[in-house]
Amino acid sequence: MEEITSKNFIHAFIEEDIAEGGRYAGQTVHTRFPPEPNGYLHIGHCKALIIDFGTAEKFGGLCNLRMDDTNPTKEDVEFVEAIKEDIHWLGFDWEDRFYYGSDYFEKDYEYAVELIKKGLAYVCELTPDEFKEFRGDLNTPAKSPWRDRPIEESLDLFARMRAGEFEDNKYTLRAKIDLASGNFNMRDPVIYRIRHMHHHRQGDKWCIYPMYDFAHPIQDALEGITHSLCSLEFENHRPLYNWVVENVSVPHHPRQIEFARLGIDHTVLSKRYLRALVEEGYVAGWDDPRMPTLCGMRRRGFTPASIRNFCERVGVAKSPNTIPLAFLDFCLREDLNESAARVMAVLKPIKLTITNYPEGQSETVEVENNPNRPEDGVRQITFSRNLWIEADDFLAEPIPKYKRLFPDGPECRLKGAYLIKCTGYNTDENGNITEVLATYDPDSRGGDPADGRKVKGATIHWVDAETAVDAEVRLYDNLFNAAEPDTSSMESLVKDLNPNSLEILTNCKVEASLKDAKAPASYQFMRLGYFCPDSKDCTAEHLVFNRCVSLKDSFKPQ
């Protein structure tokens, strides 16, 4: 985790840029977050969000939200709304600066015409196959027989491309840069292509669409972005980004800075694959609590604080990094340990009868809501002769070192209530244990012996069978068994799925205080982990809890 301590190089660059004599001396730092609305945001996007919005915040600047809908495919209103909701949930706000990349199509077109007029762009008519053939290699420059097409001719053809005279791929508009460049992005890149496709916002107004590498710098420049922060795969595109802002008459010259994408083990962070998992039914939806999407994580019980904290500690690195999923759990556990109320729930119940407690009698005992927050006080829970305990807190035949209940075993503490001793058990005709029997010490109310004797057994949790509420509990494990899921094809990816990533327990018993539980809320089920009511399926009639994270910590910071 060396990144945690390393200096944030983006902030260092920006400090230089806004200092006296710097390229943006005296200007407001202005960034943007440009998601493509073709899926839901995932934890990788959070890193970008925190870099974009967080950097603006740090420098007292602004950050725009811009839907990158330059491509006329797959965008969907559902995704636009979900992206906005997720960003607000994380605690960031774009105020009134919400844009669509497609809003600049007219401007993109004008700047393309400007390039043609300057002799810096030409209409090329290589077919896609010829284009590949003439691409050249490191030792051979690319070729285009159309490079020296007269300006007037290119202007005319480009206007007719827009007017819809030609079929897809018949012509392209290419920037005239350098066919021999070692950077293939600079070998006269295509900046416009013909696509007779409907655009979700522009309708059928356009049949030519700008390429991202041309449209993106223009969008940034028109919005007055000073620092265009993006992930590392755009590093080789930076010369083209700069070429565009230098050669068209845009009002601002933003600077592109790249950072490494966030990778996390045991999951995939690519909308394409996440989408396929949803569409092919391997998960219950984008918000399935096993998904690394923000809506999935929210439903799983992640808090904005835990996610922001995670991203901040992972840091901003220039080199690619894969972070253990366990570290994400660690950040959540740390947050919930502070904030979550402690309650009692029994996931795999077995009946416990306190044989010397009078039938029909009941009392209340007090338990602390959160030992980390004494100000949260205590609550009353009922206690009676009939309780539920965890089935594995009893063994008919003890194993070595077993300190919980077994016949004639050690005295155990029922959390917050009394000391008990197991005296025996009952079975059904098949020999299955149906009931554990115990006696209690009436002088140990609260859980401590009156005479100060040492309690040798464990403290176990329980719920009162008279008042307990039934619940369904969903336990989650890693979505993928493989640390690095094989993304070479969907088929191989599916092979790496963990078939046991979801376990549903339907016969759970939770204390009565949870009968109105509703998301968002999180609880520590004592001895079991952190749980939250499921935001979709939990109702007063049918309680459903998700395990956010177990208590056990498998992450060891170095």
Which of 174, 199, 261, 547 contacts ligand ATP by CB under 6 A? Answer: 261
Which of 48, 365, 465, 519 contacts ligand ATP by CB under 6 A? Answer: 48
Contact status: 269 vs ligand ATP (CB under 6 A): yes
Under 8 Å CB-to-CB from 456, ≥6 apart: which residues? 403, 410, 411
Contact status: 262 vs ligand ATP (CB under 6 A): yes
As given in the structure block, the two tokens for residue 547 are: 């395990």
**CB of 292: closest distance to ligand ATP in angstroms?**
9
Cα–Cα distance between 390 and 385 in angstroms, integer?
Answer: 16
What residues between 60 and 79 interact with ligand ATP by CB under 6 A?
A: 68
Nearer to ligand ATP, 44 or 416 (CB): 44
| Residue closest to 458 by CA, chosen among 525, 391, 537, 527 | 527
Nearer to ligand ATP, 31 or 353 (CB): 31
Q: Is 261 a catalytic residue?
A: yes
Site string for Mg ion, 30-69 (x = CB under 5 A): ------x---------------------------------
- Start-to-end CA distance of the chain, whole Å, equals 7
Element (H, E) at 529: strand 529-533
Under 8 Å CB-to-CB from 312, ≥6 apart: which residues? 50, 54
What residues between 439 and 458 interact with ligand ATP by CB under 6 A?
A: none
Which residue matches tokens 């811009």?
A: 66
Which of 14, 18, 24, 45 contacts ligand ATP by CB under 6 A? Answer: 45
Nearer to ligand ATP, 271 or 461 (CB): 271
Instruction: Select from ligand ATP, Mg ion, none the partner in contact with residue 216, using the beta carbon and a kind-dependent cut-off of 5 to 8 Å.
Output: none
Q: Is 15 a catalytic residue?
A: no
- Beta-strand (E) ranges in 357-418? 362-368, 378-384, 386-390, 412-414
**CB of 20: closest distance to ligand ATP in angstroms?**
30
Nearer to ligand ATP, 321 or 423 (CB): 321
What residues between 22 and 41 interact with ligand ATP by CB under 6 A?
A: 34-36
Radius of gyration for the chain, computed over Cα atoms and rounded to the nearest angstrom: 31
Which residue matches tokens 């220039």?
A: 318
Contact status: 174 vs ligand ATP (CB under 6 A): no
**CB of 265: closest distance to ligand ATP in angstroms?**
13
Span near ligand ATP by CB under 6 A; candidates 43-51, 141-149, 407-415, 449-457: 43-51
Which of 90, 230, 314, 414 contacts ligand ATP by CB under 6 A? Answer: 230
Q: Is 460 helix (H, G, I), strand (E, B) or coil?
A: strand
Output the residue with the shortest Cβ distance to Mg ion.
36
Under 8 Å CB-to-CB from 536, ≥6 apart: which residues? 287, 299
Cα–Cα distance between 285 and 266 in angstroms, integer?
Answer: 18
Nearer to ligand ATP, 72 or 529 (CB): 72
Spot the catalytic one: 32, 255, 261, 404: 261
| Residue closest to 375 by CA, chosen among 339, 349, 335, 344 | 339
**CB of 453: closest distance to ligand ATP in angstroms?**
57
Spot the catalytic one: 32, 271, 333, 547: 271
**CB of 230: closest distance to Mg ion in angstroms?**
9
Output the residue with the shortest Cβ distance to ligand ATP.
44
Instruction: Select from Mg ion, ligand ATP, none the partner in contact with residue 323, using the beta carbon and a kind-dependent cut-off of 5 to 8 Å.
Output: none
| Residue closest to 176 by CA, chosen among 227, 122, 247, 139 | 122
| Residue closest to 223 by CA, chosen among 23, 32, 13 | 32
Cα–Cα distance between 105 and 292 in angstroms, integer?
Answer: 33
Beta-bridge partners for 98: 65
As given in the structure block, the two tokens for residue 168 are: 């897809």
Q: State how far the alpha carbon of 119 is from the alpha carbons of 122, 176, 241, in Å.
A: 7, 8, 18
Instruction: Select from ligand ATP, Mg ion, none the partner in contact with residue 205, using the beta carbon and a kind-dependent cut-off of 5 to 8 Å.
Output: none
Nearer to Mg ion, 34 or 304 (CB): 34
Q: Is 176 a catalytic residue?
A: no
Nearer to ligand ATP, 231 or 382 (CB): 231
| Residue closest to 235 by CA, chosen among 261, 211, 253 | 261
What residues between 172 and 231 interact with Mg ion by CB under 5 A?
A: none
Nearer to Mg ion, 292 or 533 (CB): 292
| Residue closest to 282 by CA, chosen among 70, 480, 454 | 480
Contact status: 211 vs ligand ATP (CB under 6 A): no
Q: Are 123 and 157 in contact (CB under 8 A)?
A: yes
Spot the catalytic one: 36, 223, 258, 411: 36
Q: Are 323 and 264 in contact (CB under 8 A)?
A: yes
Query: What positions carry a catalytic annotation?
Result: 36, 261, 271
Give residues in contact with Mg ion (CB under 5 A).
Answer: 36
Give residues in contact with ligand ATP (CB under 6 A).
Answer: 34-36, 44-45, 47-48, 68, 230-231, 261-262, 269-272
